[in-house]
Structure 1
């Protein structure tokens, strides 16, 4: 009995948290990560590629939209209106004299719509608004662009008509719009901070799930679990190197955003690092949970893609407004850590250190992260047993 009790006591002592064992595990995992080219590519090359794509290839700005202007009337007024369409930098105008010349281009997608200046344009102009001056046809297969073409074409016509005979359009109230945080309305300034959240999700969730699942496949994880190290030491030792990689990737992505892509960082670097470090907790915890449950690289990659990357991309507010989503989808977004991180990143980059926004987001990310780690620790204990 004494011998058995002594063995159990020795085992418990061996399983206590030991900083030296933890450092040895961290050092071993760091060496393994540095020797893995795929890990380095995901941590350092992928952020550059994603930021380049979201800065230059993906844009929500509507500029130089290709439209046609069919000038059926040759009158001086019709030519003046056609010149007004040609003079704006927001439209790329193709001129024609027959609507059949541009209709086929709208069908093929070469043009997004066209404006018809009819033959009786002078008569319509003399009627003072009893009949529409022009006809506007837009490609409804892209609703946002169609609305833009319609509204901007109407604005060009109204501005041109108001300036006839030296007249200026008068309004009882003069409105001067002001846009806070992004005065130029550049989509890049909203997309690049959100892209950092996508990068952190890939590094934290997908990379961790793949690396740990690979160890389960190779059988090396069982060898680590059989050592005197506690479950907490093993989990922390596995995740700390990837936490450091994620923070380095954040610093690199921030430098690119500010110095290369011209996105302002109006908040402090300390606040940005605190937000990133907190987001890494649920990201790493989710990746660890996936690998502990699946223990298979292929399955871990698929689950990480559908439960980590896609929700962060589609449901975090990165590309699509959460308020415009259906109520059931909006409810789901509350459980996605990237929702809070994207909101915080846009705030720290474009507005500054607004702690009334940061604190609730930090608490939410921390709570989700703790839940993931508790589930991962429980799954790892079951695997050990």
Structure 2
């Protein structure tokens, strides 16, 4: 392999990218757009759930209970309804996702017995929102109930229990605030690299076929390895620059904590970029049409990265057959590394398994891509 020939191919490919507005748009604008859209648009946190209230009593205690629902920002009271039919109509129209009903004798029962019932109904058409909102409501009611019980016990001169009491004090490590942005945004880097890298390199060789310049390349003494590395070199540099931009935005714009080693992050990002670029180049060699190569690259890289990498959906909750399929999804290992480096601060030695999987995948893809190119026109 001659460095002079390799650099000539790399220089030629750089000129083609520079003169192609579409490639420049993919390389420069798409990462910024995707970072904004995915960083702000994808979130598992549910806040400001619209809540309708049917308070039959309108007492000080019932109003205090409603205030408990809104104080934390988890619920917003969008309507106070006068009767049961109005509540049902509001739920049917989608005005509110939940409806809180407080009975007319709420204060009397609560002050006389120390316990009372309220009802909250959720719209179950969105199961994820309903499950999370139900958990919020249960926590709010549990806290309000504990406060009421304490005040009721003091009012009735009942001693506080001294035996058989267990207090649970949960502690969350690595993502202390349980902010889903800290969980999701690092994975956005994998999605952007998979999208940009595969789309750019899937056009490299296919472009030569469509423009009729493949005959000139074949007639030169350039080898298959020189062709592959020369074609991929500019895109590898672009991919690393895009990754640097996305990672910087993750830390400084979205304020995701970075606790790991920058060298470990750089090495693993380079490995992932090689895998993605190699897949795009392989498809470009096999498919002599830019549109076809681009579409297949999108299917092979972006879809598994978003669905089977653990980026948005937890893999351990999927069926065993799907979990087994995800083992061959290269993005799964990079997403694991990103979250471990960002949130846990794991050194490279502790990430031996996913790093080894990326190395093996990169070697296989590069080997297949190098063997795919043949210096003939058939």
What is the TM-score when the length of structure 2 is the normalising length? 0.90
Distance in 2 of aligned mates of 1:335 and 1:355? 21
Structure 2: segments with no counterpart, 5+ residues:
154-159
1:8 match: none
Deviation at 1:356? Answer: 4.2
Distance in 1 of aligned mates of 2:204 and 2:222? 19
Taking the TM superposition and a 5 Å limit, the aligned residue runs for 1:156-167 are: 156-164=140-148, 166=151
Secondary structure (helix, strand or coil) at the match of 1:67 reads strand
Distance in 1 of aligned mates of 2:68 and 2:370? 67
Secondary structure (helix, strand or coil) at the match of 2:256 reads coil
Change over 3 Å in CA distance of 1:27–1:382 after alignment to 2: closer
Deviation at 1:255? Answer: 1.6
Distance in 1 of aligned mates of 2:339 and 2:142? 36
- Residues 9 and 230 in structure 2, CA contact (< 8 A), matched pair in contact too: yes
Q: Are 1:299 and 2:292 matched, yes or no?
A: yes
1:60 match: 44
Change over 3 Å in CA distance of 1:370–1:269 after alignment to 2: same
2:219 match: 226
Structure 1: segments with no counterpart, 5+ residues:
1-16
Secondary structure (helix, strand or coil) at the match of 2:298 reads helix
Deviation at 1:241? Answer: 0.7
Secondary structure (helix, strand or coil) at the match of 2:227 reads helix
2:259 match: 266
Distance in 1 of aligned mates of 2:236 and 2:28? 13
- The C-alpha deviation readout for 1:52-79, integer Å capped at 9, x for no partner, is 1222222211111111121012344333
Deviation at 1:357? Answer: 4.2
Secondary structure (helix, strand or coil) at the match of 2:8 reads helix
| Aligned residues: CA RMSD | 2.2
- Residues 203 and 242 in structure 1, CA contact (< 8 A), matched pair in contact too: no
2:156 match: none
Among 61, 84, 91, the alignment partner of 1:99 is: 84
- Residues 70 and 116 in structure 1, CA contact (< 8 A), matched pair in contact too: yes
- Residues 197 and 342 in structure 1, CA contact (< 8 A), matched pair in contact too: yes
Q: Are 1:376 and 2:360 matched, yes or no?
A: no
- Residues 344 and 358 in structure 1, CA contact (< 8 A), matched pair in contact too: yes
Among 101, 104, 116, the alignment partner of 1:119 is: 104
Among 173, 176, 195, the alignment partner of 1:180 is: 173
Secondary structure (helix, strand or coil) at the match of 1:381 reads coil
1:44 match: 28
1:345 match: 338
Distance in 2 of aligned mates of 1:108 and 1:234? 61
Q: Which stretch of the first structure deviates more once superposed, 35-44 or 307-316?
A: 35-44
Distance in 2 of aligned mates of 1:121 and 1:167? 14
- Residues 225 and 234 in structure 1, CA contact (< 8 A), matched pair in contact too: no
- The C-alpha deviation readout for 1:19-42, integer Å capped at 9, x for no partner, is 111111111111222222222222
Equivalenced residues, count: 367
Distance in 1 of aligned mates of 2:215 and 2:166? 74
Distance in 2 of aligned mates of 1:83 and 1:247? 50
Q: Are 1:281 and 2:274 matched, yes or no?
A: yes
Deviation at 1:108? Answer: 2.9
Change over 3 Å in CA distance of 1:167–1:244 after alignment to 2: farther
Distance in 2 of aligned mates of 1:384 and 1:274? 37
Deviation at 1:245? Answer: 0.5
1:366 match: 359
Distance in 2 of aligned mates of 1:192 and 1:267? 16
Among 90, 98, 113, the alignment partner of 2:74 is: 90
- The C-alpha deviation readout for 1:254-283, integer Å capped at 9, x for no partner, is 221222221222112221110111111211
Deviation at 1:122? Answer: 4.0
